[in-house]
Structure 1
Amino acid sequence: MSKKRAGEEVSKRFQKCHGLIPGLPSELAIECMIRVPYKFQTAMKSVCTSWCNLLSDSSFSRERMRCGKAELLLCLVQPLTPPKPNAVEEGEKKELLQQQPRVSVTPRFGLSVYNATMSTWNRVAFPEQQIPLFCECVAVQASGKVLLIGGWDPVTLQPVKDVYVLELAGEGSGRRWRKGASMKEPRSFFACALVGSTKIYVAGGHDDQKNALRSAEVYDVVRDEWLSLPPMTEGRDECHGFAMGPKIAHLDLDMKGPCSAHLTELGFCVLSGYGTESQGRFRSDGEVYDPATNTWSRVENVWPFHDTSPRGRITGDIRGSSSKLWCFVDSKLQWETEDDSGKWKLDLESVKLPVTGSLVYGGGYGGDAVVMIGGGVMMKTATEESVGKWSSIDDIPFGFSTLPFSHASIYV
């Protein structure tokens, strides 16, 4: 038992549930159940109504996190690889391939999950065999949800406005995918980020004619509805989105904690991207949406790598007096910039990649940074301490080694 009575919040909500485990008080029974690995929770819900109600309550997930028993999942939207041939068939397949010309085939995408706590890889079943190509993956920790947003239809290869929701914790956990409310318009390769605990912002991307979009909208996870936002000043295709905190202009020295305004007034930054007529030439500026004023402001000199997409190259932290970003590139740089309203400040630092000349994908990973390297290697580095000192995590098994398009991490 911890010094603070373990399971206190959960036991208050389920104090009438006697006999969770025969012969044990409810507090101890909850302590035992919190320690069961996540992969067994779906089966546990079928034991009895009390167990199902307990494991489906959001307080159960929060208690797992408080006790340090939650498992970190890294969700990856990535192209699927063909099945590995066995030794008997391998020779026959090589001979067949030599006789037939190579044909370009549209890739199939899936949602892969790496359990960092258990060091296991799995692929999540999807009702339509494959998820939309190039869709955005967003995790909502507060409600235990993973969402797939937009992308391309696997058959028509046209942008879609679909939203798919998978509940990993809470009342709906263990159920199949469900359709969420659709976006106002179809889009792909757009900026997307969770801002706060319940709002997902999207902006930019391109339409079915490959025109860069200026439009933006916000999704309320609780209400399952989309609202349109004012458009950006520029169309931005292949842009990157993230939440950011405002610059603290005045800090009371008597305060013992962070500025309360910083914790509540978060903005949505859309970084770089390119216009319709300048495909592949990434902009150096960005735009920040302020929910408090319902307006956009421009931030200059934020992305100096004109030949490199910011997607899969950035992770960040919104704590402190500004938003700290780490950029995974082959050079060592450090720079700061502010938007033209003076409210938002970006502090950027490049982190030299562990390899050069290889395809990589990087992003956030439970407070640290992680990169996947073409060839099946995953490495991580701490973004607060020992920045740039990479260490190997695990060898990636066959079938999961392709570089992802988008990712999200969540504790369960």
Structure 2
Amino acid sequence: MSTTTTEAPPGILIPSLPNDVALQCLARVPRQYHPVLAAVSKPIRSLLSSPELFAARSSLNSTESLLYLTIRSLYGKPKGWFTVYGRRSNTNDDNKSNIIVAPVPGVPKDRLDWSDCAAVGSKIYVVGGINCVSYSTKVWIFDCRFHTWERGPGMPTVRSQAAKTVVLDSKIYVIGCWTEKKSWVLVFDTVARSWETLPSPKLGVYNERVVGCTIRGGKVCVWLEREEIRFDPATETWEVFESGVRPGFHWTAQMCEVNGVLYCADEDTRTIRGLNERNGIWKELKLVNNRGLPNRFRDPCMVNVGGRLVIMGLGYPRDEIFTSELELWCAEIEVKMDRDGDLLGEVLWSKLVFSMSSLLVDMEPLFYTCLPVSF
């Protein structure tokens, strides 16, 4: 005797419409409205994180960039991973209600401070870090399409945390590690899901701080305290180069290129500056409106989201002269260069995402980053 299992019919997505037609309708809805759709019904909520919806959106060429935030610290309120829904293009609209910061579900309980993140395709890779008192080789992979986490292939044994990660041709370059093989850069091939080590440019590089790194001209460019070096994947060789970035310029380790201008943060003045490589001149990014942002950012991280500059950083409350609080802000800025070569920024939206005691931040670091993911 044989038995058959009858699957329960799928829930109705939209009354009076066949589910295949409803799927095509819902696949056209921008992601900024997905939190609202999720509250409509259980079938729609399940659909929003299903392979069927992703396949339908891909066939319709409806790929969008979504911004993901991570916030971690040793003290303070519980934090985690968040998705930013909604991006306003009308700069005259002061209504912030369409900017939603929603928590990411199912984040692993593994606590890794000083880890770094990289986005490749629709996935975010969380690499290394410090677990209690030891350096970790763990890799976690988050699939933004389906809100699922998995353990990835671990890194080779490391003796320090990564200074920064950059992505080139689906490969993640983990820069600043010191492994037992004396390798300074590890490379993770996200397609082959395997690790390899790069030859170090020189022995003394282990003692130099990485003050910036990015991908330019198909090469991995790294700025050290005293010189600039870059790796050419085509020839698998390192070389010294000059970019116009003057030695002694006090950056954070975060860099970002938008519309041909290289942006970085000046640690001394706590301002954002951009380098126009055509004339080698640094200019401060001037905000023509601030929409409640702090006057100065502290330790900002920056990413390019569709040709716009997204900044996430700490600042003191604007309306308080004496305060022990620090606020963590995220903002999207339209950047452009005027006829005089000055850099101007138009804040499209800004959002206060977290606040805590400045004393705690000084005693125990606050770890945060922002990543654009297209899917």
- The structure-2 alpha-carbon separation of the partners of 1:110 and 1:225, relative to structure 1 and needing over 3 Å to count, comes to same
The one-letter code of the counterpart of 1:174 is H
Q: If the length of structure 1 is used for normalisation, what is the TM-score? A: 0.62
TM-score by length of 2: 0.67
How far residue 181 of structure 1 moved from its aligned partner, in angstroms, is 0.9
Cα 1:127–1:411 shift into 2, 3 Å: closer
CA apart distance, 1:369: 1.6
C-alpha distance in structure 2 between counterparts of 1:308 and 1:51, whole Å: 43
Is the Cα contact below 8 Å between 1:149 and 1:161 reproduced in 2?
A: yes
2:212 maps to a residue whose letter is H
Contact 1:150 1:162 (C-alpha < 8 Å) held by counterparts: yes
Asked if the contact 1:381–1:391 (Cα under 8 Å) also holds between the matched residues in 2, the reply is yes
With over 3 angstroms needed to count, the CA separation of the structure-2 counterparts of 1:305 and 1:126, relative to structure 1, is: farther
**Cα offset for 1:302?**
4.9
Matched positions, count:
310
Q: Distance in 2 between matches of 1:391 and 1:269?
A: 29
Where structure 2 has 5 or more consecutive residues not aligned to the other structure, the ranges are: 1-11, 88-97, 288-293, 317-326
Aligned with residue 57 of structure 2, among 50, 57, 60: 60
Aligned: 1:394 with 2:357: no
Q: What's the % identity of the aligned pairs?
A: 16
Kept after mapping to 1: 8 A contact 2:123/2:143: yes
Q: Distance in 1 between matches of 2:140 and 2:213?
A: 20
Q: 1:305, CA displacement in angstroms?
A: 5.7
Picking from 168, 172, 191, the partner of 1:222 is 191
Displacement of 1:303 in angstroms is 3.9
CA separation of 1:148 and 1:288: change in aligned 2, threshold 3 A: same
Tell me the equivalent position of 1:119.
99
- One-letter amino acid matched to 2:194: E
Corresponding residue of 1:33: 27
User: Superposition RMSD on alpha carbons, in Å?
Assistant: 4.0
Q: 1:390 to 1:188 in 2, by over 3 A?
A: farther
Change (3 A) 1:191 1:71: closer
- 1:163 deviation in Å? 1.0
Among candidates 277, 294, 303, match of residue 364 of structure 1: 303
1:157-236 aligned at under 5 Å gives the runs: 158-169=134-145, 173-175=146-148, 177-186=149-158, 187-196=160-169, 198-205=170-177, 215-233=184-202, 234-235=205-206, 236=208
Correspondence 1:351 to 2:323? no
Q: Give the AA of the match of 1:34.
A: R
CA–CA separation in structure 1 for the residues paired with 2:334 and 2:54: 33
Secondary structure (helix, strand or coil) at the match of 2:238 reads strand
C-alpha separation in 2, matches of 1:44 and 1:360: 42
Closer/same/farther in 2, CA of residues 268 and 299 from structure 1, 3 Å limit: same
Name the residue aligned to 1:289.
231
Q: Which has the higher strand share?
A: 2
- Give the distance between the partners of 1:47 and 1:27, measured in 2 at CA: 17
Separation (CA, whole Å) in 2 of partners of 1:47 and 1:357: 42
Q: Which residue of 1 aligns with 2:3?
A: none
The 3 A distance-change label for structure 1 pair 60 and 356 is closer
Instruction: Indicate the residue corresponding to 2:265 in structure 1.
Output: 328
